[in-house]
């Protein structure tokens, strides 16, 4: 039996049906093409990206996706998180070029018309910054947008990178490639050839339209399941070589200090992770009764196999229902029924991917990695529901 809407208004028999016709039904609505590019309702004006607290520099900062306000697994283009290191360049597409050189038979330069003549594919994948949830190592974000907002999921359209590399002719000695952006930071990362020849894409469109400038217009690299900074935006150069290039972004940055004094390097894959988005921090339950727990799970290693949900800080678990489609390296929505009795509760979710990897607790992650890391936090998130219905972040 489906739960009833406990707060639905009941007719009182004192009004005629005509008395209940709202004012907007009695007036002509706005015409089409006003505005010519569709916009959300003005009543949804609070559903926006926000900057990371304390990091509002406009050229080297980030904005966060409002996961708690989204429905389904696709992030609208205007709400996809941003992360850039030297501001967003304004690149005329007819002037953009992609150079492929290094250990190749034929160095080549492609314009956008050249690239769009290659066979294209469209695939849905998540994109997550390796710094997503970084604050949870030591502190507590107030909302799921703050804790997990460096995460989005889109339908990406472009060319398999392998096709373009094969056009240039790959030297057998080539084991790595350098991807470089055309932004002011000249963002560069070394990428293993295995990944380049597997599922990497040269992307020019996102969710049915050309890339937004902040997402790399007119061309970006997409490496499904890899940490966000390797997915180079405004892509201008690919150089093949026999070893990694040891750039700034993979030596002094984007490495993981370990408790023994060493540092992990080239930790590309984003491990299995999940988060409950409703109820979550900053929200308030209206009162005891039925609540549908909703959230997202994802893994850089493939499909999500299972998500468990707990309402008692992990003492007991129930299996959540996964919403189709369940795709590799893509957000998977999950749901679980809960009847809240009005007592304090702690909500958690735990993801397992198709490799058998299980999302760790925050305590287990800290025990293995220490507290000096910044990147790759994928610990279980806890939301505490107070007796008054208010939800807040806790480290249970």
Task: Tell me the C-alpha distance between 90 and 213, whole Å.
Answer: 7
Task: Tell me the C-alpha distance between 182 and 97, whole Å.
Answer: 10
β-bridge partners, 209: 206
- In CATH terms, 82-264 corresponds, of 3.40.50.970, 3.30.420.40, 3.90.420.10, 3.65.10.10, to 3.90.420.10
Looking at residue 54, its pLDDT comes to 76
Beta pairing, strands 176-181 & 235-241:
antiparallel
Looking at residue 18, its pLDDT comes to 67
Tokens for 262, please give them.
């060493």
Closest CA to 202 of 213, 218, 178: 218
Task: Tell me the C-alpha distance between 109 and 115, whole Å.
Answer: 10
Helix (H, G, I), strand (E, B) or coil at 18: helix
Task: Tell me the C-alpha distance between 60 and 304, whole Å.
Answer: 33
Looking at residue 164, its pLDDT comes to 98
Return the CA Rg of the chain: 23
Looking at residue 82, its pLDDT comes to 96
Q: How far from chain centre, in Å, is Cα 155?
A: 12
For domain 273-394, is the CATH number 3.40.50.720?
no
Task: Tell me the C-alpha distance between 19 and 30, whole Å.
Answer: 24
Looking at residue 30, its pLDDT comes to 84
DSSP 22-68: -GGGGS--PPSSSSSS----GGGTT---EEPTT---SSS-EEE--GG
Which part of the chain is CATH 3.90.420.10? 82-264
Which part of the chain is CATH 2.60.40.650? 273-394
Tokens for 117, please give them.
């003549």
Instruction: Give Cα separations from 341 to 1, 123, 257, 290, 388 (angstroms).
Output: 19, 42, 44, 9, 11
Per-state percent for the chain, helix, strand, coil, to nearest 5: 15, 35, 50
Looking at residue 330, its pLDDT comes to 98
8 A C-beta contact, residue 268 and residue 280:
no
Looking at residue 185, its pLDDT comes to 94
Q: What is the mean pLDDT of each run of 10 residues along the chain (396 residues)?
A: 51 66 88 88 96 74 95 98 94 98 98 97 98 95 97 98 98 98 97 98 98 98 98 98 97 94 96 98 97 98 98 98 98 98 98 98 96 95 98 95
pLDDT tens digits, 59-77: 668 999 999 999 999 999 9
8 A C-beta contact, residue 242 and residue 181:
no
Give the position of tokens 């909500």: 347
Tokens for 349, please give them.
């979710």
Helix (H, G, I), strand (E, B) or coil at 275: strand
pLDDT tens digits, 386-395: 999 999 999 9
8 A C-beta contact, residue 83 and residue 150:
yes
Looking at residue 32, its pLDDT comes to 85
8 A C-beta contact, residue 347 and residue 276:
yes
Instruction: Give Cα separations from 22 to 17, 26, 29 (angstroms).
Output: 11, 7, 13
Q: How many CA within 13 A on the CB side of residue 190?
A: 20
164 φ/ψ angles, rounded to the nearest 5 degrees: -70, -40
Helix (H, G, I), strand (E, B) or coil at 234: coil
Q: How far from chain centre, in Å, is Cα 195?
A: 20
pTM (predicted TM-score): 0.94
Closest CA to 191 of 203, 206, 204, 201: 201
């Amino acid at each position: 039996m489906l739960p009833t809407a406990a707060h639905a208004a009941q007719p009182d028999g004192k009004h005629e049906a005509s008395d209940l016709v709202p004012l907007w039904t009695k007036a002509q609505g706005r015409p089409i093409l006003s505005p010519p590019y569709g916009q959300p309702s003005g009543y949804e004006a609070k559903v926006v990206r926000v900057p990371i607290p304390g990091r509002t520099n406009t050229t080297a900062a980030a904005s966060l996706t409002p996961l708690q306000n989204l429905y389904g697994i696709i992030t609208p283009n205007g709400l996809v998180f941003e992360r850039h290191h030297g501001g967003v360049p304004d690149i005329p597409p007819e002037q953009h070029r992609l150079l492929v050189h290094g250990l190749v038979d034929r160095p080549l330069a492609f314009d956008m018309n050249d690239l769009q003549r290659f066979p294209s594919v469209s695939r849905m994948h998540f994109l997550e910054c390796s710094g997503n949830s970084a604050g949870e190592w030591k502190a507590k974000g107030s909302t799921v947008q703050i804790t997990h907002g460096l995460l989005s999921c889109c339908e990406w359209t472009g060319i398999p990178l392998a096709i373009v590399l094969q056009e240039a002719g790959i030297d057998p000695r080539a084991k790595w490639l350098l991807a470089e952006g055309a932004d002011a930071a000249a963002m560069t990362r070394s990428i293993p050839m295995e990944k380049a020849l597997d599922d990497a894409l040269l992307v020019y469109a996102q969710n049915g339209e050309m890339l937004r400038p902040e997402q790399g217009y007119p061309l970006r690299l997409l490496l499904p399941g890899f940490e966000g900074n390797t997915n180079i935006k405004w892509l201008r150069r690919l150089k093949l070589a026999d070893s990694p290039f040891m750039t700034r972004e993979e030596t002094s940055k984007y490495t993981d200090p370990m408790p023994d004094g060493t540092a992990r390097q080239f930790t590309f894959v984003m491990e299995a992770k999940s988060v409950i988005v409703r109820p979550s921090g900053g929200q308030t339950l209206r009162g005891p009764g039925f609540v549908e727990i909703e959230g997202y799970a994802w893994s850089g290693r493939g499909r999500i196999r299972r998500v468990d949900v707990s309402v008692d800080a992990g003492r007991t678990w129930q299996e959540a229902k996964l919403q189709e489609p369940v795709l590799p390296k893509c957000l998977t929505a999950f749901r679980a029924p809960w009847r809240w009795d009005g007592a304090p509760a702690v909500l958690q979710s735990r993801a397992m991917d198709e490799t058998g990897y299980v999302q760790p607790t925050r305590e287990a992650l800290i025990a293995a990695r220490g507290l000096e890391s910044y990147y790759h936090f994928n610990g279980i998130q806890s939301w505490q529901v107070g007796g008054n219905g208010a939800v807040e972040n806790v480290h249970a």
